[in-house]
């Protein structure tokens, strides 16, 4: 089961949400209201529910949703929703609403994303782009001149084939060297990660490939 998991950041418009591939919808706390504004009713709403309860009797707006109150403050609502999803049987997630609001909140979400991407397939969607964590290798069908970005998480040693600016057993590291705004020069890009992990960003709805990349995690 692939779950769409929404966070209380900048949410995609309805027509983009409808194009994403998922089976169930999990809303972290107040992001349920943003989904409802876009005509999407979450199957489950999870969190400490402080934002969800900003309006009186919020349950009446979500009669078909299962509401799970997790008051524990040792984890944020993103992590609570991920943990619930795993217990619910989700085997992969696509995350929306990752960015937006307070910067420290966004950075904390990225830390949770990085940690959980080591144990379960996660992708993040924003502004027409998919971020796909790669821990071993990825073969991605592309179109020449497609924008491909490589962001180390936080450090990765990797080799690439099919990019305009290739890496040959080289390091990328946050604070030292990044790999954003590269370009494909062929009909496929291959990324081999020798050490660490890298977040690969590419066009989410490219017609020349499936929405799910051919990846070995």
Distances in Å between the alpha carbon of 134 and those of 40, 143, 153? 30, 20, 10
- Contact by Cβ (8 Å): 29, 108: no
67 and 41 share one domain: yes
101 and 144 share one domain: no
Residue 217 has what pLDDT? 38
93 and 12 share one domain: yes
From 127, 155, 184, give the residue that closes a domain. Answer: 127
116 and 11 share one domain: yes
Residue 210 has what pLDDT? 65
SS3 187: coil
CA distance 97 to 106: 10
Question: Could you tell me which residues are beta bridge partners of residue 123?
Answer: 94
117 and 141 share one domain: no
Residue 102 has what pLDDT? 83
Per-residue pLDDT of the chain (217 residues), as tens digits, is: 999 999 999 999 999 999 999 999 999 999 999 999 999 999 999 998 988 888 778 889 899 999 999 988 778 999 999 999 999 999 999 999 998 778 888 899 999 999 999 999 999 999 999 999 999 999 999 999 999 999 999 999 999 999 999 999 999 999 999 999 999 999 999 999 999 999 999 999 998 876 444 443 3
Neighbours of 129 (CB within 10 A): 15
- Contact by Cβ (8 Å): 75, 83: yes
Question: Could you tell me which residues are beta bridge partners of residue 46?
Answer: 28, 68
CA distance 173 to 154: 6
**DSSP string computed for 110-176:** HHHHHHHTTTS-EEEEETTEEEEEESSEEEEE--TT-EEEEEEEEEEEEEEESBSS--SSEEEETTT
pTM of the full structure: 0.90
120 and 136 share one domain: no
Residue 51 has what pLDDT? 87
- Contact by Cβ (8 Å): 106, 98: yes
DSSP 59: G
85 and 172 share one domain: no
From 127, 158, 184, give the residue that closes a domain. Answer: 127
From 127, 154, 181, give the residue that closes a domain. Answer: 127
122 and 178 share one domain: no
176 and 83 share one domain: no
**Residue 173: partners with Cβ closer than 8 Å, 6 or more residues away:** 152, 154, 155, 156
Residue 150 has what pLDDT? 97
Q: How many domains does the chain have?
A: 2
116 and 45 share one domain: yes
Q: What is the CATH number of the domain that holds 32?
A: 3.40.50.10240
CA 6 from chain center: how many Å? 10
- Contact by Cβ (8 Å): 56, 90: no
113 and 184 share one domain: no
Evaluated on CA atoms 53, 37, 12, 66, the torsion sign reads positive
CA distance 121 to 172: 22
83 and 181 share one domain: no
| Structural domain boundaries enclosing 144 | 131-216
């Amino acid at each position: 089961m692939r779950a769409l998991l929404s966070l209380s950041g900048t949410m995609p418009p309805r027509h983009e949400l409808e194009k994403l591939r998922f089976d169930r919808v999990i809303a972290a706390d107040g992001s349920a209201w943003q989904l409802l504004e876009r005509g999407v009713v979450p199957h489950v709403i999870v969190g400490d529910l402080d934002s969800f309860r900003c309006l009186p009797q919020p349950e009446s707006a979500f009669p078909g949703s299962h509401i799970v109150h997790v008051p524990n403050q040792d984890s944020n609502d993103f992590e609570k929703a991920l943990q619930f999803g795993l217990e619910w049987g989700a085997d992969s997630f696509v995350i929306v609403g990752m960015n937006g609001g307070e910067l420290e909140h966004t950075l904390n979400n990225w830390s949770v994303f990085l940690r959980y991407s080591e144990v379960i397939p996660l992708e993040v969607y924003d502004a027409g782009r998919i971020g796909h964590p790669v821990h071993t290798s990825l073969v991605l069908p592309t179109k020449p001149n497609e924008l491909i970005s490589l962001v180390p998480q936080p450090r990765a040693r990797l080799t690439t084939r099919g990019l305009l600016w290739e890496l040959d057993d080289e390091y990328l590291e946050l604070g030292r060297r990044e790999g954003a705004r590269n370009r494909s020069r062929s009909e496929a890009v291959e990324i081999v990660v020798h050490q660490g992990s890298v977040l690969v960003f590419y066009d989410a709805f490219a017609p020349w490939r499936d929405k799910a990349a051919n990846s070995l995690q």
